[in-house]
DNA sequence: AAAAAATAACGTATATTTACGTCAAAAATA
DNA sequence: TATTTTTGACGTAAATATACGTTATTTTTT
């Protein structure tokens, strides 16, 4: 790998990928779910819930914060974290856009075209065969 | 990192994370979008569209295939890839579940509770401050 | 039968993610 | 004031992802 190459795609594609990447670990899903169900959202609490060390949880929290999914507000020694509803809305609209794109155009694909019946595992004996 | 730890979360959380992970790179988003708009979905075509080498594109295709987002059917020397609409539906329902979870419960959080006004960047001068 | 076309497999190098321990600093408490 | 609590910063090691060139194999074309 010489460079990252991600910047060669559209900003929409990059944005979508970043959003999904933030959710691409079960710990971060769990953190968001926990934050959604409690008022007492401090780091210590979360690391007691999750099967991970506190520093690891903190790392996941940072990732979620960088992606904009959560906000943190310091109150004394404690830091309160909570979900940013704006970002959740953005995830919703962005996912809906992508899903619409993917499902609308799909019937055009050869594999799902009923006028070309010999193309899937049901009918094609070579489906899924590895080239040796 | 000793072990992966991902297996310590619920299967739902793992499944969601895997699905999102498959979409966590702009190239894979671009591939899905391209597959949605064309009938001629063979590897060579896609690598001419994307700013990546053919082998790299193939790698991303494998990732999407492993995740179940695309199917491939070999016809002669060419391999035709297409989106699996079932998986797209699964992404939709799973995302909707998560979004419902996250938006429903959010008002309970302290940070978004109007009865505790001093907690966000507008009112809290310490918001976002790094502990040095 | 030989050459060309197309693809997956393999190997490799670099970058990033994941997981955690240790440490220092700020605030609360004794 | 000293101790405890809480947190983020830093360093590190292993795992995984990304990007690509090379190679072998199959099919098509010549």
Q: Which residue is nearest to nucleotide C9 (CA to C1')?
A: A132
DSSP-assigned states of every residue in chain B: --S--GGGS-HHHHHHHHHHHHT-SHHHHHHHHHHHH-S--BHHHHHHHSSS-HHHHHHHHHHHHHHTSEEEEEETTEEEEEE-HHHHHHHHHHHHHHHHHHHHHGGGSGGG-TTS-TTSTTT-TTTTPPP-
A40 domain residue, yes or no: yes
Question: Is there contact between B76 and strand D, defined as CB under 7 Å from any strand atom?
Answer: yes
When scoring A72, A74, A131 by the number of chain B Cβ atoms within 10 A, the one with the most, hence best to mutate, is A74
Structural domain for A77, as ranges? 9-87
Averaged pLDDT, A20-43: 89
For position A26, what pLDDT does the model report?
A: 98
CA B27, CA B22: separation in Å to the nearest integer? 10
pLDDT at B42 over 80: no
In this predicted model, what pLDDT tens digit does every residue of B2-15 receive, in sequence order?
A: 578 999 999 999 99
For residue A42, the distance in angstroms to the closest alpha carbon of chain B comes to 11
A100 domain residue, yes or no: no
Find chain B residues with C-beta within 8 A of A117's C-beta: none
In this predicted model, what pLDDT tens digit does every residue of A50-75 receive, in sequence order?
A: 999 999 999 999 999 999 999 888 88
Strand D bases with any atom < 7 A from protein Cβ? 5-11, 13-22, 25-28
Closest CA to A19 of A86, A82, A78, A101: A86
Is B110 close to A71, i.e. CB distance below 8 A?
no
B72 domain residue, yes or no: yes
B73 domain residue, yes or no: yes
A32 domain residue, yes or no: yes
| Average pLDDT value over all residues in chain B | 80
A94 domain residue, yes or no: no
B130 domain residue, yes or no: no
Which of A69-78, B29-38, B47-56 has the lowest average pLDDT? A69-78
Structural domains in chain A (count): 1
For position A27, what pLDDT does the model report?
A: 97
Averaged pLDDT, B41-69: 91
Averaged pLDDT, B79-104: 91
Residue with tokens 């799973």: B94
Find chain A residues with C-beta within 8 A of B64's C-beta: none
The enclosing domain of B54 has a CATH number of 1.10.10.10
């Amino acid at each position: 790998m010489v460079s990252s190459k991600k910047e060669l795609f559209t900003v929409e594609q990059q944005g979508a990928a970043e959003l999904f990447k933030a959710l691409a670990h079960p710990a971060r899903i769990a953190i968001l779910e926990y934050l959604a169900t409690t008022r007492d959202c401090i780091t210590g609490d979360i690391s007691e819930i999750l099967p991970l060390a506190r520093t690891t949880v903190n790392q996941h929290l940072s990732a979620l914060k960088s992606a904009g999914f959560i906000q943190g507000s310091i109150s004394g020694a404690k830091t309160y974290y909570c979900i940013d509803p704006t970002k959740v809305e953005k995830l919703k609209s962005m996912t809906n856009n992508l899903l619409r794109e993917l499902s609308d155009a799909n019937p055009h694909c050869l594999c799902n075209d009923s006028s070309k019946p010999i193309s899937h595992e049901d009918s094609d004996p070579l489906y899924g065969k590895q080239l040796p």
